[in-house]
């Protein structure tokens, strides 16, 4: 079984290192100093309570050098995927599966969902239908990514917490391809449940991302502060309630309530969200996939989202002012 991780930064590097340690036939697509270090010295994984482990890896910037894969696991930021569809296609054969481990509302969300929205395409996350037409939703297996990791230096990934990668077919079946990948990831020491209702998990993770991330960018506040402050907590809560209304219209069931989700965010502590870290580093932020797509779904379902709309407009302007948003 050949597996390629496309976008082997922090999360992709963590998964790749675990698979390589387990002896899997895994290759990595990366670039820059991180790629050069992996090619020169291998990939080093730092896990809490364990000695650093360095494994040799097959890594390249050119997917054509890696050949057709059984699974291509995409761990890029959402806005980075449409432009690289031609590169992804070089790794895909007639029996290949693309595993979408990307944050936010996935481009394939309305594939095999049934009901009046079946086949709806989302311009915010798939402009020009690049992924829908170029890859095809039948070739996609969903994945919700829970681990936190960072590239502490080129060629080195530090694992911070979590080891679960929930998998799910768009139609909710426990397919052979989902079960085979799950077995491989479990063999590598990861948790990889196959979920019949992956969209429910997508929304629970998105619930925090769509509110915590943009508010952190606007306030420079860490999670413990923005989830408890008397001014920002009600704003985050209002955004989450608006999103929950949309999701429930789409058939999603939330296993916890809004305030427990907010309390869970506060319990993470003085953490700078991924969007705030991107702003700090001068990188483009996942505004469209995490916030803009929810607004698009609000329009689709006839749901008013006044708080989300206001925060979206502010964070878009903040990003444009920093030269990080078109």
Q: What is the pLDDT of residues 31-81, one digit of tens each?
A: 999 999 999 999 999 998 789 999 999 999 999 999 999 999 999 999 999
* Cα 229–Cα 271–Cα 18 angle in degrees, nearest 5: 150
- Please report, rounded to a whole number, the percentage of residues in the chain having pLDDT higher than 90: 98
Residues carrying an active site annotation: 205
**Which two tokens mark 65?**
């050098």
Q: Which domains does the chain have, with CATH numbers?
A: 2-196 (3.40.50.720), 199-321 (1.10.1040.10)
H or E stretch covering 213 = helix 198-219
Q: Which residue has the tokens 């929930």?
A: 166
Give the pLDDT confidence of 238-293 residue by residue, as tens digits: 999 999 999 999 999 999 999 999 999 999 999 999 999 999 999 999 999 999 99
pLDDT for 4 equals 98
**Which two tokens mark 234?**
């009600």
Distance CA 186, CA 16 (A): 13
Given a contact cutoff of 8 angstroms between Cβ atoms, the answer to whether 182 and 143 are in contact is no
User: What are the two backbone dihedrals, phi and then psi, of residue 194, each rounded to the nearest 5 degrees?
Assistant: -100, 115
User: What are the two backbone dihedrals, phi and then psi, of residue 252, each rounded to the nearest 5 degrees?
Assistant: -80, 140
Does residue 229 or residue 160 have the better pLDDT?
229
In 3D, which of 177, 181, 169, 109 has the Cα closest to residue 141?
Answer: 169
> Helix (H, G, I), strand (E, B), or coil: what is residue 60?
strand
pLDDT score of 232 more than 90: yes
E-state strands within 17-147: 25-29, 43-46, 53-55, 58-60, 69-74, 92-100, 140-145
Lowest-pLDDT range of 87-101, 113-127, 264-278: 264-278
pLDDT score of 326 more than 90: no
Given a contact cutoff of 8 angstroms between Cβ atoms, the answer to whether 20 and 43 are in contact is yes
Given a contact cutoff of 8 angstroms between Cβ atoms, the answer to whether 146 and 164 are in contact is yes
Mean pLDDT over each residue of the chain, to the nearest integer: 97
pLDDT score of 118 more than 90: yes
- Please report, rounded to a whole number, the percentage of residues in the chain having pLDDT higher than 70: 100
pLDDT score of 122 more than 90: yes
In 3D, which of 25, 32, 31, 34 has the Cα closest to residue 4?
Answer: 25
């Amino acid at each position: 079984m050949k597996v390629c991780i496309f976008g082997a930064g922090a999360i992709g590097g963590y998964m790749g290192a675990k698979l390589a340690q387990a002896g899997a036939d895994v290759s990595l697509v990366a670039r820059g100093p991180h790629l050069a270090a992996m090619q020169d010295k291998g990939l080093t994984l730092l896990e809490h309570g364990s000695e650093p482990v360095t494994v040799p890896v097959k890594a390249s910037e050119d997917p054509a050098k890696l050949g057709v894969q059984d699974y291509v696991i995409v761990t890029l930021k959402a806005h980075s995927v449409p432009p690289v569809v031609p590169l992804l296609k070089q790794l895909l054969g007639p029996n290949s599966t693309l595993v979408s481990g990307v944050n936010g509302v996935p481009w394939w969300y309305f594939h095999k969902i049934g009901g009046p929205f079946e086949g709806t395409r989302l311009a915010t996350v798939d402009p020009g239908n690049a992924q829908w037409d170029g890859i095809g939703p039948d070739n996609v297996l969903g994945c919700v990514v829970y681990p936190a990791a960072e590239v502490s230096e080129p060629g080195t990934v530090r694992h911070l917490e979590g080891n679960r990668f929930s998998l799910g077919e768009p139609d909710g079946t426990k397919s052979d391809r989902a079960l085979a990948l799950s077995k491989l990831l479990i063999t590598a020491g990861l948790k990889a449940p196959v979920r019949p209702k992956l969209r429910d998990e997508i929304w629970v993770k998105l619930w925090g991302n769509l509110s915590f991330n943009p508010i952190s960018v606007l306030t420079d506040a860490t999670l413990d502060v923005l989830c408890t402050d008397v001014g920002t907590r009600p704003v985050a809560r209002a955004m989450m309630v608006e999103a929950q209304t949309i999701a429930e219209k789409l058939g999603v069931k939330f296993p916890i309530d809004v305030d427990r989700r907010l309390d869970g965010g506060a319990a993470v502590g003085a953490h700078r969200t991924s969007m705030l870290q991107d702003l700090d580093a001068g990188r483009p932020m996942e505004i469209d996939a995490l916030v803009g797509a929810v607004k698009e779904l609000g329009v689709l379902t006839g749901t008013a989202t006044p708080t989300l709309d206001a925060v979206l407009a502010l964070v878009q302007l903040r990003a444009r002012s920093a030269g990080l948003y078109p």
